[in-house]
Each structure stands twice: as C-alpha cells, then as structure tokens.
Amino acid sequence: ARGAYIIAAARTEQSAADTLRELAIDGTPVTCELSDLASVRGAIQSVLNTGRPLDGILANAGIMALPTLTQKDGIELQFYVNHIGHFVLVNGLVDALTPNGRVVILSSGAHFYAAQSGLELDNVSGERNYDAWRMYGRSKLANIHYAKGLNARFAGTNRPANAVHPGVIDTNLGRHVPDKQAMYENLKKRVRLKTIPQGAATQCYVATH
C-alpha cells in the first residue's frame, strides 16, 4: 500500500519466491537460514547486491518452545535463531539503512518467562535446567535488549529501532508445542487471538507510521 519494494527472506529462496508470488508482490527472494551463520552472511550479501537502500528491516522470524534441548555451535537453538541469527543479519545490513530507516525486532510478551532468570549468559548452551518456555522467553528478552542497544547506537540520527509484541497469533510457530491446539484454546480464554494479517499489520505499522 505504501509502494514498498520487498526483499523477502526465507529458509529457501523458493519458499520466499512462492510467498511473493502468492501475495502478488514484486520483490526479491533471498535465502536466509538463521541457524546457519554462513547462510545469514550470504543473505546479507544478496541484499546488499540489490543496491537498494533500506527504509526498514523487519527481523521477524523465529522458533518457539522446543521440547528438548537442541543446540547449534554449542548454543541453545532458540537463542541462536531468535537472537544471534537476527543480530548478525541486522548488523550486516544496518549501514544500508536510509537516514530515516527503521529496524523492527519482533519480540514477545513471552519475555516475561525469563523475568527471574534474565539472559543467563553463563548458560548460553541451555544445558543448565533446560525449560522450553524459559529459553524462548530469554531469546525474546534478548530481542528487546538488542533493540535498545541499536537505539543507543542510533543516537543523534533519525533512525529508530523498536521491539514489538505482535499479539498472539495461531501460526506454525507453535508447531513444537506438544498440544498446540490446546494451548491456543487456553489462550483464547484470556486474550483475543489475532489473524495472521492482523499480526503482520503490527510490525508494518511500526515500520511505516
């Protein structure tokens, strides 16, 4: 609606291309597997190769509530994908932002699951007392700290960074929850679930308003 040109990242270029085609968007598909830093760096280069200045970066992928401890490079996978992968991606692209360019980091109200334990930087492996939701909350808390850190870095410029809770949305993000449907039915008793377009609108609002 704003006339934006979309560079869409997904785990495979084909997936990104299929989504652009499904939504009738003229854009560039890019491969970005956040659990593989070589892939992330490749995505950075692909974006820079377009030569397009970036009006906004939406860091909005993620995984949630892995039932058993899973690691990559010795780091708990939710922290790796949700924070480290995005950290490397955004830092690699931030110099391509326009003077008024924005960064939107998708966090979650689930960061409260880590309210007592914090970031646990002495437990990045996740091996100490692993809990699926606490580890997810930690990654979302890291997203918030990263947005705050970017804002400090952007001081004196017109570039803002924001961390956003998009709402509770029934998507494939919950695929690792043992009883996903029961979880969402329980949530419906307490909050109003959003549709996928409504959830997407939250981050788009922050990126454009």
* Residues forming the active site: 130
Residue 187's H or E segment, with its range, is: helix 180-188
**Unique residue bearing structure tokens 């997407």:** 200
- How would you classify the pairing of strands 97-106 and 54-59? parallel
Residue 14's H or E segment, with its range, is: helix 13-22
Going from the C-alpha of 134 to that of each of 39, 59, 89, 120, the distances in angstroms are: 27, 21, 24, 10
* Listed residue (178, 195, 88) closest to 142, CA to CA: 88
